[in-house]
Structures are given as C-alpha cells and as structure tokens.
Amino acid sequence: MDMLETGITRRGLMAGTGALVVSFSMGRALAREAAPQPAAPQPATPEPPALPGSLDDERFLDSWIRIDADNAVTVFTGKAELGQGVRTALLQVAAEELETDPKDIELVTADTGRTPNEGFTAGSQSMQNSGTAIRNAAAQVRAILLAEAGRRFGVPPESLKVENRTITAPDGRSVTYGELVSGQMLHVEAQPQSPLKDPGSFRHMGRPMQRVDIPGKVTGQPAYVHDLRLEGMLHARVVRPPSAAAQLSELDTTSIEAMPGVVSVVLDGNFLAVVAEKEFQAINAMRALSAASRWEEKETLPDQNDLPAALQNLEREVGTVAEAGNMPSFTGRIFAATFSRPYQIHGSIGPSCAVAHMKPDGTLDVWSHTQGVFPDRAAISEMLGMPPEKVRVIHMEGSGCYGHNGADDAAADAALIATKLPGRPVRVQWMREQEHSWEPYGPAMLVKVKASLDETGRIANWGYDLWSNTHSTRPGGAPALRGARHKAPPFPASPAKMQISPSGNGDRNANPLYTIANKRVLWHFLPDMPLRVSALRALGAYANVFAIESTMDELAILADADPVEFRLRHLEDPRARDVVQLAAEQFGWSNMPMPRNRGRGFGFARYKNLAAYMAVAVEAEVEPETGRVRIVRAVSAIDSGEVVNPDGIRNQTEGGILQTISWTLYEAVSFDRTRITSTDWSSYPILRFASIPDKVDVHIVGRPGQPFLGTAEAAQGPTAGAVANAVRNATGKRLYDLPLTRDRVRAAIAT
C-alpha cells in the first residue's frame, strides 16, 4: 500500500484515541515555497520603520556603541562567545565601519546589566542579528561624527578623511571621535539605511584575523566561568536523583553536615546540594549525600530497542511543513525507506558551571555560560520569585556549547543555592556523569521517505514524514530549569507546542531545496518527552538532511546518474550549484571505481533553506571484518554570504564536519526503562584522534555585499549525508539508522 495512504489511515485510526490535530496549511506552505531571500525588511507598518538586524529591537545607537572623551570605543553585543569566534568577527565588523583597529575596541558581550537583549546566541544567527546591527550602528555613528566634524571645520563631510578614530579636514585640521562626542549625540534612534563601506575598501572584514581569545586560552589566563574565583567563594555540588522521575524518599544529612569543610546541605523538595569551603570537600560530601539518599524511581523511559515504534506512539498532531504540485503518487522507479536518529548529547568537554552571589542589597548576580542571559534571567527570577531587575546574569565563556546544554540549569542551581546562603558567592560545578545524564539531549527522530522518478530521470514525487519532539525547550520560564522542576513546590512542565516556521525546528531542512514537482512534507509532532530534549546544533536539519541526502544517492542510482550531477539536475539556485560544483571539483569527484573497501559520498544543504550553503564530499574506508569506518578525507565548500573572518568560517566548518563524523559514526544515548546509562565517555564514545581524517579542506565562496548568512550549523546535515553515502559506496549497503556503528556496518555487510 502507498505509504502516504498508510500514514493517513493510521492517523485516521489514531484520531479516535485522543487529541489529534491535523493542521494543514496549504496557503502558508506555498507562500513559504516562494519566500524571497531573508533580511528583506518586513512590509512597513506606519511606524516604526524596520531596522537592520537586532537594531530593530534595540533601536538607539548608544545601546551598541559608546565613545568616551578619551577616544575609547566600547561596542556592546547581546550575543555571547561560545567558542565559535564571534567576539573576533564582531570586532572586525565594528572596526571596519568605525575606521579603527579591532584592538582599540572593547567589546562587551551578553550581560543583562550592560548589553542589548539579543535573545539567544543560537541558530547561526549572531552575524545576521548582531553583526548586522553593529555594522549598521557603527556606520551611522561614523556618519554622525563626520557630519559634526564637517560642521566644526566648515567643510562638507565628504571632504573629510577618517582613520584610526581621527577625522582630518583637507587643510590638515583634525579631531578625534572622543573630542567630537558630547551629550546625547549618539543617543538617537538608528535609521533604516546606513552609509556602509564598500566591500572593495575593507581593511578588516573579509580578511583572516587571529582570534582575540586564543592567546589567553593557551597560556592559562582566566577565560571561562570555571576560572572565576571570587572573594569568599564557596564550592557547591548538586546531588541529582538517579533518574528523572525519581522522588526523594529518605535522607539523613546529619553525618554529611559534620564532614570537613561542609557549610550547608541544601534540601528543597527533590533538589539536593552540598556547599563546602573547598572543592574536594564538596565532592566528598556530594558522594556521601548521594549514598545517604533514597529515591523512589519509576519506569518512564521508552524501549531503546524499539525506539521507532516508541516515537510513533507518541504522535499527537500532524503539521504540513511544505507542499507543492499535486499530492504525490508513486509509480515507476520508486525508493522508499525509513531513517532514524537516536538521542545524542551536546557533550561539552567541560561540564556546566556557574557562580551566583546573593548580595546584601538583595540583588543576585549570576555568572553563566548560558546562550541567553536575558531569557535565563527571566527563568531564574521566576523560579526564585524575585523581580527580574534584581537579578543580573552575566555571560562568561564555558566549554563548547553546541546548543542548549546544562548551562542554564547550572546557573539556576547556583542561584537557588546562593539565595539560601546570602553573602557569599557560590560556585556550582556539574560532574561529568551529571552533564551526560541531565543535559537536554538532541531529540531522537524517525523519517519515512518515498520518492519516484519520471521517465527522464528527474524526481517526480516526494513524500516525507518525520516524527520528532520539539527541538527547543529553552528557558522562557522557570519550568525549563531543572532546579525549578526539582524544588518544592516544583514548577510543572510547560506543554510543548508544534510550531512550523520558515527556519524550522524538528522540521528544519525537512523540505529539500531540490526542485521536485509534487511533494508533501509532514511533521508528526510528539508533545511528550520521555527523555528531556532541546536544541542541539542544527536541530532537525541533521537527521533530515541525512535522510534526504541518503535518498538522493539512492535515486541517483535508480536514475543511473552520478550523484553530483543528479543533485545539480534538481538545483536551480546558482549559489547552491556553486558550492556543489566547487566541492566536487576540489575533491576530484569522479565515477572511477574506488579501491576495495573505499567509498566516496556527497552531501549538500542550504541550512534552514535560507542561510549558508554547504556541500561536502568525503572518502571513507571500511574494514569489513570489524565494521570500522574511518573518514579518510573531506572536502567542502561553503557560502556564508559576506565573509567577515575567513579563518573563522574555516575553523567552524572543519569543526562541524568532525563533530558530525563523531555523531554519525559513534553516538547514541543509551538508557534502560528507568535510567540513562550513558553517563561518561566510556559509555558514550566520541571521535578520538586515532580515527580522525588525514585531511579536511574548507573552500569558501565569498559574496561581497550580500547579507551575512552564519556558519556554525551549516555542516551537520551535509556531512551526515556524505558519510552515509560514502559507506554505501564502499560497501554496497545502505544504512538507515544513526549512528553507523561497527556492529551495524558489519551486520549490513554480512547480509
């Protein structure tokens, strides 16, 4: 029976069982198909006019740029350095339009007490949002200063030269920015248009710049929230339940309170923590407290061995992600398959950490590696019942982030403990097993694809069904914080809602960029989350592009076509074609047979269908005896729009490729019906040096004058597809379930 019909029948049956909503929205889906490029200002309501990037939310120039009388320049961003190098790129942008050197700018990053509110540093949007805002604000500040200098000198501003924060008139008179700025000169609303510099005259943007944070990091300077040591600071450790649904049933803290250095045992509902003078004392007390606590546990987790069925059973709603042409019907050459992705962790090498200080004036400071200081503040203040203005959240770097990990929870833990011990700063450091067990995971997903070719070898029909939770349970309120769920009374979980938007969530990149006459893409939404999940780098794009690109290769085989040529056959966007062709050319793509047990594979996507274009070709070697796969080399091409720091783009893309190789070959969270069982690096293995490629190349397609498109999440989907396709090419076997473990590869070869 036709898969789509089957799906509808099953949904029809399910409709009788509970809350099922089928929210078809043909008009919206079609409108999205034809959506123009991003960054176009929204149609103007009478007021206020749309401003570029995050300027639209923080409209005053001096929210972004301050110039002091001594000519010091301070730039403010609501985005945070997460190891992606955004601090350096934003400095380049500001320096370019302010006509100064990046080293002469102080950049203040996410801090509820000082910076604009730019929401989360997420979705590869920092350059689009903050980079665009800072660039435009800086250009407008420069124009204001030039106009003021022109007025003072009695010459037209166009005749002035500006260099290194000094403006010079044709007759040699000069004045610094600092001498020009007075009063409220920069406290003005930004204009929709800015006198941006021509890319041809760039001195900083578009050129590789060494990251400003690396020298400190390689010489042991304090660089992370983990390195924050405040006067009188106490060390805390939380004791988490053994499983998410566990309830504390018995606890005797007497012996723990008597342990050396222990200052306090914190008990608040199911929230349990110890505080000690020294770190190792806190760890010892944590272990003792853990041993002294008794918990009632429940079997709430799905059967890991039948995850696809478990996911399908959680379906309560279906939404249309995209539709085009006629309802797909399948005849002729058909490919149909089911793909899956397990729960996967962010797995920062440094477990989450935070410091909080409840001060005598009743205000609370929290230092956190959160991705969103403002949303985190809202959630923490709600949890504590404090007015938000009494809570300040200050971003400090953590270990790599890759999405919504334990950062916000650790900040909440520190805040909760600090309010019980006012006066002394409290540092909370999660342990490795806590990070593995309690961070929100990237959601497991299931994808069913069916596609058919027409007589000319083009894809005629495409049906795509995905099953997924939401990919974002970020703080918006206290329930998003683990501590708030554990304390008494607990904040009840917020119900998850399916939201279909152009940039996507679980459905991110579910709609292929390829031109297909008849298609339908559906998201079968799972509101219940038996395992806690949230944003992991690329959200649904990782699994969706893995499924789409695997299917593209199978269809190319059916069409007797080269995989690269087959993709180009279905790509109209010239920028998409450019990265595909460049990656193929630089890889030396051909149809020549590969040596035994070697294979080549290709992958492509435009992230979110509206951000960076990325294509990658990989060569894999497979050991048939063990099933071990190693990627020998990867060659990629990326178009992130206007380039600010080319080495930053390369670094992020290399990292994206390698991290995705790790996800794709090794990674799956394991659990029994009660507990998470991947609690460390031996029970959740990742890529090691022994298995890295020989070479990874990144070729950048520069687009001067075009909008920033972001970089950090462009590689995940295409790399997953390329790896799977290379394994297929090497072994002749298609693997449908991530990760492509040794056991699975060996089993596939044996069939």
Partner 1 sequence: MAISLKVNGEDKRIDADPATPLLYVLRDDLALNGAKYGCGLGQCGSCMVVVNGEAVLSCMTPVMLMEGREITTVEGLGTIEEPGPLQQAFIEMQAAQCGYCIPGMMMSAHALLRRNANPSDEDIRQALGTNLCRCGTHMRIMAAIRRAGELMQAAGLPAAGEGRTG
Q: Which stretch binds partner 1 (CB under 8 A): 28-36, 41-49, 347-355, 526-534?
A: 347-355
Q: Which stretch binds partner 1 (CB under 8 A): 19-27, 69-77, 224-232, 583-591?
A: 224-232
Applying CB under 8 A, does 291 fall inside the site for partner 1?
A: no
H or E segment to which residue 427 belongs: strand 426-429
Q: Which stretch binds partner 1 (CB under 8 A): 151-159, 182-190, 210-218, 452-460?
A: 210-218
Residues binding partner 1: number (CB under 8 A): 65
Applying CB under 8 A, does 690 fall inside the site for partner 1?
A: yes
Place of tokens 């509206």: 610
Nearest distance, CB of residue 413 and partner 1, angstroms: 16
Backbone angles phi, psi at 648, to 5 degrees: -65, -45
Nearest distance, CB of residue 16 and partner 1, angstroms: 46
Q: How far apart are CA 103 and CA 118, in angstroms?
A: 24
Identity of residue 68: D
The two structure tokens encoding residue 604 = 């492509």
Nearer to partner 1 (CB atom), residue 151 or residue 688: 688
Kindly tell me which residue out of 7, 123, 375, 400 binds partner 1, with binding defined by CB under 8 A: 400
Nearer to partner 1 (CB atom), residue 57 or residue 433: 433
Who contacts 170 (Cβ-Cβ below 8 Å, separation ≥6)?
A: 155, 159, 160
Applying CB under 8 A, does 561 fall inside the site for partner 1?
A: no
Applying CB under 8 A, does 42 fall inside the site for partner 1?
A: no
Task: Tell me the pairing of strands 459-468 and 518-525.
Answer: parallel
Nearer to partner 1 (CB atom), residue 301 or residue 715: 715
Applying CB under 8 A, does 280 fall inside the site for partner 1?
A: yes
Nearer to partner 1 (CB atom), residue 551 or residue 659: 659
The two structure tokens encoding residue 568 = 């180009």
Q: Which stretch binds partner 1 (CB under 8 A): 57-65, 211-219, 301-309, 600-608?
A: 211-219
DSSP letters spanning 269-302: TTEEEEEESSHHHHHHHHHHHHHHEEEE----S-
Applying CB under 8 A, does 78 fall inside the site for partner 1?
A: no
Applying CB under 8 A, does 703 fall inside the site for partner 1?
A: no
Nearest distance, CB of residue 426 and partner 1, angstroms: 14
| Helix/strand/coil for 609 | helix
DSSP state of 492: P
Nearer to partner 1 (CB atom), residue 181 or residue 289: 289
The residues in 189-208 that bind partner 1, with binding defined as CB under 8 A, are none
Kindly tell me which residue out of 32, 135, 165, 226 binds partner 1, with binding defined by CB under 8 A: 226
Q: Which stretch binds partner 1 (CB under 8 A): 152-160, 360-368, 553-561, 679-687?
A: 679-687
The two structure tokens encoding residue 235 = 């060390």
Backbone angles phi, psi at 246, to 5 degrees: -70, 145
Applying CB under 8 A, does 227 fall inside the site for partner 1?
A: yes
- Crossing angle of helices 541-558/646-666, nearest 10°? 80
Q: Which stretch binds partner 1 (CB under 8 A): 145-153, 343-351, 699-707, 736-744?
A: 343-351
Q: Which stretch binds partner 1 (CB under 8 A): 146-154, 213-221, 292-300, 730-738?
A: 213-221
Backbone angles phi, psi at 242, to 5 degrees: -70, -20
Applying CB under 8 A, does 222 fall inside the site for partner 1?
A: yes
Nearest distance, CB of residue 103 and partner 1, angstroms: 14
* Interaction pattern, residues 634-653, with partner 1; x per rule: CB under 8 A: -------------x---xx-
Applying CB under 8 A, does 406 fall inside the site for partner 1?
A: no
- Crossing angle of helices 132-153/86-98, nearest 10°? 20
Kindly tell me which residue out of 167, 366, 582, 657 binds partner 1, with binding defined by CB under 8 A: 657
Applying CB under 8 A, does 710 fall inside the site for partner 1?
A: no
Kindly tell me which residue out of 13, 15, 22, 214 binds partner 1, with binding defined by CB under 8 A: 214
Applying CB under 8 A, does 349 fall inside the site for partner 1?
A: yes
CA angle 279, 285, 290 (to 5 degrees): 130
Applying CB under 8 A, does 630 fall inside the site for partner 1?
A: no
Who contacts 63 (Cβ-Cβ below 8 Å, separation ≥6)?
A: 76, 116
Nearer to partner 1 (CB atom), residue 711 or residue 725: 711
| Cβ(232)–Cβ(263) below 8 Å | no
Kindly tell me which residue out of 603, 693, 721, 739 binds partner 1, with binding defined by CB under 8 A: 693
Q: How far apart are CA 510 and CA 520, in angstroms?
A: 10
H-state helical runs in 426-573: 432-438, 482-486, 541-558, 563-569
Among 80, 112, 107, 79, smallest CA distance to 95 is for 107
| Cβ(526)–Cβ(296) below 8 Å | no
The two structure tokens encoding residue 90 = 């934003």
Contacts 24+ apart (CB under 8 A), 283-288: 283/237, 283/431, 284/259, 284/260, 285/237, 285/256, 285/259, 285/261, 286/237, 286/238, 286/239, 286/431, 288/255, 288/256, 288/259
DSSP state of 397: -
Applying CB under 8 A, does 87 fall inside the site for partner 1?
A: no
Kindly tell me which residue out of 19, 34, 218, 258 binds partner 1, with binding defined by CB under 8 A: 218
Query: What is the tally of helices (H) and strands (E) in the chain?
Result: 20, 25
Kindly tell me which residue out of 63, 293, 659, 664 binds partner 1, with binding defined by CB under 8 A: 659
In the chain, the N- to C-terminal Cα span, in Å, equals 26
Nearer to partner 1 (CB atom), residue 190 or residue 629: 629
Applying CB under 8 A, does 429 fall inside the site for partner 1?
A: yes
H or E segment to which residue 266 belongs: strand 262-268
Applying CB under 8 A, does 341 fall inside the site for partner 1?
A: no
The two structure tokens encoding residue 597 = 């047990």
Q: How far apart are CA 172 and CA 541, in angstroms?
A: 56
List of residues contacting partner 1 (CB under 8 A): 82-85, 210-211, 213-224, 226-227, 229, 235, 260, 278-281, 283, 347-351, 397-402, 429, 431-432, 647, 651-652, 654-659, 661-662, 680-682, 686-690, 692-693, 695-696
